[in-house]
Amino acid sequence: MALVGLPQYNPQSSEQVLSPTPPLLPDAATAFLKWRPQCHLQASHGWMNDPCAVSYDPEEKVYRVFYQWNPHSPFWDHICWGSAESTNLLDWTVSSAPVLSPQTSYDGKGIFTGCSVPPSLGKQLTIFYTSVSRLPIHYSLPYNLGAETLSMATSTDGGRTWARAAKNPILEPDHLADLNITGWRDPFVTTWTSMDKILGRKETGLYGLLSGGFRDTSPTCFLYDIVSTDMTKWNFIGPLMTVEPNYRPSRWSGDCGVNWEVTNVLTFDKYTFLLISAEGGVEREDRSTRASIWIAGSLQDTAPITMKYEFGGKFDHGDYYAANTFRDESLDNSIVVWGWLEETLADELIVSQNWNGCLTVPRVASVATIRNVVGTLHSPIDQLTNFEVVRSEDGHELTTLGVEVHPRYVSSLRQRAECSVVVPAVEFLRPGVVDCGVSATSWELETEITVTSSAVQVGILALHSPDYAQQTRLSFCPETETFTIDRSRSGCGKELHAYDAPHTLFTTRTGDGAETVEKLKLHVFCDKSVIEVFLNGRTAVSARVYPDEGSCRISLFVENLNGQTVQFSETKVWHGITGKATIE
């Protein structure tokens, strides 16, 4: 039942530029659209969080995304699943009503995050989800064993309707009764070649993870062996990994927190990564935080099998959370990652706009390797704990988890752009600002910057007013090896603190002995109240901002030159971009 006095959505099928607008009084419609992104996937209205059961259907050539949704309010409660489909990752058909809702004794308090089985296991869609029977649930509270259970459902119509398994809940955490756990949720199901090998299996197995932790001991994820001929049977192997609470090797690696959520396994030929949503991290003035982190590890032939932490980092250094993944057969089976961005607005503004949250742009995760490295801007190479460092004859070979934006999404954006602007290369001999000549609130920008190891600060002034009084400052400081999204003048959001991401540039040596410092490669996506920044294909930072209507300029800037020079290569901006939402 909808809350009295809040704008309500008319669920008749429609197609429109921008996201769907309820038939409201003009002031309410203006509030609905004021900061609503144009190129990010959103529910039609209400609260939206974790992406669930993300996948690509190679037969229908369609992407499917489910998500946690509260259609009755723009705040968290009554969590069900909504759904969306797209062929180009920009235009979406979004459900007007939940496709899976709380309605039984075991999931009556919520349909929480879940996953789908790999598509190769059959055309019928099969999902697993956390079924919730009791609230509240939080890592800081005593855990009610059995409040979270594992359930399964199937669909034969592309996820429009679901049939719950007769055996639901298919698994309860009673096997963990003797352990003081902090959570047990967010199933992830995958095939895992290296796990097959360590178990001595000749046939491909199916494995499941559930995320949580041991109170005051370690965050973790719980590993299960799934019977592929009867996926209601999950056999407990053990906790996959344990690390001390708030484990953080250095500033280059993310805080592991005290409880894990939505743990995914990312497997490549040589490397295995865990992509984790970590709760209870302690950063920035001892304020408790949550973050999206990754860990690279190796399986250990122990009893039970465990995974050893080797190196790790943050998948995103900003608002990003609850990442979920799938293999995209249309992109050489690459791993695609979706995440969630919550609002950071005052409650009264969230009420007036009647929506809260969106999903991020789709990203591609990969193994990124840099060879023949002989130096950084400042930090010793062996202190970069987000890289595997291997010495070679010509220096070092560095490996980390790479991240880029999905090329199909980028192509769709550029085809839809009303205009593209090219700002010629510019050399700054003194501090200054160069206006890009663009007035827009949704745009994509690419540039490369040649910097030195001095105290210079370089970057982009995004969404700024003509007098620069309002701006979002995207800056890189080589001296501190830090990229920052400064939101101190970004509008009327709540607690818009800065996000800092450690990032350095590498010096490499060629075969003839010549040394080259890599350029800072900036790829920025701005969409009204969302900014996502990607640096050199290995660092990402996301943030929510809430500028006034007149703050829509873009400029390049340089400060603290101190006799040095800074060069921006040709800067390209695509703007006037809109996505379409069809509500069914």
Residue 559 sits in a domain whose CATH number is 2.60.120.560
24 falls within a domain: no
For residues 300 and 410, state if they share a domain.
no
CB atoms within 10 A of CB 250: 12
Q: How many domains are contained in the chain?
A: 2
Instruction: Out of 324, 339, 360, pick the residue that ends a domain.
Output: 360
- Residue 545 inside a domain? The answer is yes
The alpha carbons of the chain give a radius of gyration, in whole angstroms, of 24
CA angle 487, 493, 497 (to 5 degrees): 35
Domain assignment of residue 313, yes or no: yes
Between CA 474 and CA 459 the distance in angstroms is 5
**Cβ pair 117, 229 in contact under 8 A:** no
Residue 153, in any domain of the structure: yes
* Peptide bond between residue 304 and the one before it cis (omega within 30 degrees of 0): yes
Q: Does one domain contain both 347 and 373?
A: no
Do both 297 and 384 map to the same domain? no
Residues 380 and 340 in one domain: no
- Pick from 307, 334, 360: which residue ends a domain? 360
Work out whether the CA dihedral 73, 132, 228, 177 comes out positive or negative.
positive
Tokens of 5: 């006095």
Q: Are residues 343 and 219 in the same domain?
A: yes
Question: In this structure, what token pair is assigned to residue 70?
Answer: 């509260």
- Tens of pLDDT along the chain (584 residues)? 222 222 322 323 333 333 343 434 446 678 999 999 999 999 999 999 999 999 999 999 999 999 999 999 999 999 999 999 999 999 999 999 999 999 999 999 999 999 999 765 667 899 999 999 999 999 999 999 999 999 999 999 999 999 999 999 999 999 999 999 999 999 999 999 999 999 999 999 999 999 999 999 999 999 999 999 999 999 999 999 999 999 999 999 999 999 999 999 999 999 999 999 999 998 655 455 899 999 999 999 999 999 999 999 999 999 999 999 999 999 999 999 999 999 999 999 999 999 999 999 999 999 999 999 999 999 999 999 999 999 988 899 999 999 999 999 999 999 999 989 999 999 999 999 999 999 999 999 999 999 987 889 999 999 999 999 999 999 999 999 999 999 999 998 887 889 999 999 999 998 788 999 999 999 999 999 999 999 999 999 999 999 999 999 999 999 988 888 899 999 999 999 999 999 99
Burial-class residue 48 by CB neighbours within 10 Å (0-12, 13-18, 19+): buried
Alpha helix ranges (H) inside 147-277: 193-199
Answer yes or no: do 336 and 456 share one domain: no
Cα-flanking dihedrals φ and ψ of residue 356, to 5°? -155, 110
Entry field: residues in the chain: 584
- Give the tens place of pLDDT for each residue, 535-583: 999 999 999 999 999 999 999 999 988 888 899 999 999 999 999 999 9
> Residue 284: how many CB atoms within 10 A of its CB?
12
CA 6 to chain centre: 29
Distance set, CA 150 to CA 114, 185, 362, 391 (Å): 9, 8, 27, 45
Q: What percent of the chain has pLDDT over 90?
A: 87
d(CA 518, CA 196): 40
The per-residue DSSP string of 421-482 comes to EEEPPEEESSSEEEEEEEE-SEEEEEEEEE--SSS-EEEEEEEE-TTSSS-EEEEEETTTTE
Residues spanned by the domain of 379: 368-583
Rounded CA gap, 445 and 421, in Å? 9
Give the three-state DSSP class for 550: coil
- Identify whether residues 356 and 383 lie together within a single domain: no
Residue 28 lies in a domain: no
DSSP bridge pairs for 404: 364
At 571, which amino acid appears? T
User: Are 300 and 192 within one domain?
Assistant: yes
Q: For 104-123, what is each residue's pLDDT tens digit?
A: 999 999 999 999 997 656 67
Which tokens is 572 given? 């390209």
| CA nearest to 137, candidates 148, 128, 126, 127 | 148
Domain boundary among 329, 360, 391: 360
Q: How many CA atoms lie within 13 A of 373 on its CB side?
A: 24
- Partners of residue 363 on adjacent β-strands: 337, 405
Q: Give 131-143 as a DSSP string.
A: EE-S----TTSPP
Would you call the peptide bond into 245 cis, given omega within 30 degrees of 0 as the criterion?
no
Of 176, 159, 22, 171, the C-alpha closest to 95 is 159
Q: How is residue 244 written in tokens?
A: 């001390």
DSSP for 76-95, please give it: S-S-EEEEEEESSSSSEEE-
H helix count then E strand count, the chain: 4, 41
- CB contact at 8 A, 361 and 90: no
Angle at 193 between CA 190 and CA 199, to 5 degrees: 105
Q: What is the DSSP letter of 546?
A: B
| Mean pLDDT, the chain, integer | 92
Assess whether 337 and 473 both reside in one domain: no
Report d(CA 389, CA 248) in Å as an integer: 18
Q: Find the Cα–Cα–Cα–Cα dihedral 131, 137, 138, 141, rounded to 10°.
A: -140
Are both 494 and 531 inside the same structural domain? yes
Please indicate, yes or no, whether residues 257 and 147 belong to a single structural domain of this protein.
yes
Which pLDDT tens digit goes with each residue over 122-162? 678 999 999 999 999 999 999 999 999 999 999 999 999 99
Which amino acid type is present at position 535?
Answer: L
Q: Please check whether residue 12 lies inside any domain of the structure.
A: no
- pTM given for the model: 0.94
Q: Is 27 contained in some domain?
A: no
Please work out, in degrees rounded to the nearest 5, the angle formed at the alpha carbon of residue 479 by the alpha carbons of 445 and 530. 30
Q: What is the CATH number of the domain that holds 251?
A: 2.115.10.20
Domain identity same for 414 and 344: no
Query: In this structure, what token pair is assigned to residue 31?
Result: 């509030």
Q: Is residue 355, in this structure, part of any structural domain at all?
A: yes
Q: Classify residue 72 by its DSSP letter.
A: T
